[in-house]
Amino acid sequence: MKIFKFGGASVKDASSVKNVTQILQSEGSGNTVVVISAMGKITNAFEEVIDAYYNKTDELSDKLGVVEDFHKNLMNELFDKNDTIYKEIDILLGELSWFLARNTSKRYNYVYDQIICFGELLSTKIVSAYLTKIGVDNNWFDVRNYIKTDSNYRDAKVDWELTQELISEKVDTSKLNITQGFIAANDTENTTTLGREGSDYTAGIFAYCLDAESVTIWKDVPGVLNADPRVFTDTTLLEQISYEEAIEMAFYGASVIHPKTLQPLERKEIPLLVRSFVNPKETGTKVTKGVRLVPYIPCFIVKKNQILVSISALDFSFMVENNISYIFQKLHDYQLKVNLIQNSAISFSVCIDNKFKKFDAFYDELKTQFKIDVQKEVDLYTVRHFDDEAILSIENRGESLLTQVNKETSQIVINPN
């Protein structure tokens, strides 16, 4: 059993869908679970639908029209007008309209998950239908009937015992199976999501539960590179790396592999392959147990639009355990992800990701008890296996605000302005 995952860029238009089907035919279409994300930038388009709906703006109809037109235009290039896929897509869009009309919940995260899931449902329906059209037998299924979670909307935790039972019993391992990444469901059958970019994690869940021989993530890059080619001009393919190295890179923010994907694979020693859907004959990167980084060179990870916060006591007393514990609790309460920590006797600094837009509320609560200095829109660079030349290349990108170094890793906060 193999697990394939195709992200949004791999199914961004009609020609991309055709390319995915060609890869599946070339790689062998049986005994495989294929996890597919929403098409292109459709997740972003659905987020605009959510904002228009939640904030009750008059743009909702237009935003919905963008989503519908995108999928219908793509379908027009793949199918005949009388194909049954048009009716299936209309049914899904009707379910979305029904939710928008009937929902009474004011919980943003709940509303988000109930709407955002349609991106993956539409995408997989279209790919499955096109495979059928060209003669590739496949089984489409709704992943929400297989992966079960708690009710922590937008960042749900998997119920591994129930999920294992459902996947083991219900997946036909002899067939080509098409399903959705990123989404799941709780015990009341409401949709939940596994966190942004969670489709990789979905692939890891299926691999673990089915004892898969491998997971392949198909990307628009040759494999795992030592730096993001959108940020750095010179990059090198890492042909083999260990689970440990990949987890470290993912933890610091490398976008090629989702941070939660690797743990279930490492537990069962299931190899992870990162390959290019642009050049599918290339071998890409293999992530396995105990393999040292090859080649052993500096690896650069950048997280943009971070917030650097320095906190000190109003009376200039020491920042000790009870202060820091309180601050961490508030960071957790406001869902602020900490990417760097540094403290001195009287100051505690963190570089954080404001993914859930709750920083202002966090700041308002703490400013009455602490002196807080804030610098927004900074970039956090992490360099694994750094050398002097690598550090200098980062420091030349702007004003260096904070540097932290340990044996293997250097982190530098840069003000790019």
Q: Which pLDDT tens digit goes with each residue over 201-216?
A: 999 999 999 999 999 9
Q: Hey, what domains does the chain have and what are their CATH numbers?
A: 2-212 (3.40.1160.10), 299-415 (3.30.2130.10)
- Give the pLDDT score at 257: 81
- Give the pLDDT score at 294: 55
CA atoms of 53 and 257, how far apart (whole Å): 32
Q: 30 a known binding residue?
A: no
Task: Report the length, in residues, of the chain.
Answer: 417
Structure tokens at 36: 């597919």
Q: How confident is the model over 232-242, as a mean pLDDT?
A: 92
Q: 120 a known binding residue?
A: yes
Average pLDDT, the chain: 94
Query: Taking 70 as the threshold, does the pLDDT of residue 153 lie above it?
Result: yes
Q: 40 a known binding residue?
A: no
The predicted-structure confidence for 274-315, as pLDDT tens digits, reads as follows 999 999 999 999 999 987 655 579 999 999 999 999 999 888
Query: Taking 90 as the threshold, does the pLDDT of residue 28 lie above it?
Result: no
- Give the pLDDT score at 308: 98
CA atoms of 57 and 75, how far apart (whole Å): 29
CA atoms of 362 and 383, how far apart (whole Å): 29
Going by their DSSP bridges, the two strands 272-276 and 214-219 should be labelled as parallel
Q: How confident is the model over 42-62, as a mean pLDDT?
A: 96
Using CA atoms, how far residue 115 sits from 92, 192, 197, in Å, is 11, 10, 16
CA atoms of 129 and 82, how far apart (whole Å): 13
Q: 5 a known binding residue?
A: yes
CA atoms of 379 and 322, how far apart (whole Å): 29
Cβ neighbours around 271 below 10 Å, total: 16
- Give the pLDDT score at 319: 86
Q: 289 a known binding residue?
A: no
In the chain, the amino acid numbered 65 is G
- Give the pLDDT score at 98: 98
Structure tokens at 400: 């260096």
Q: What percent of the chain has pLDDT over 90?
A: 85
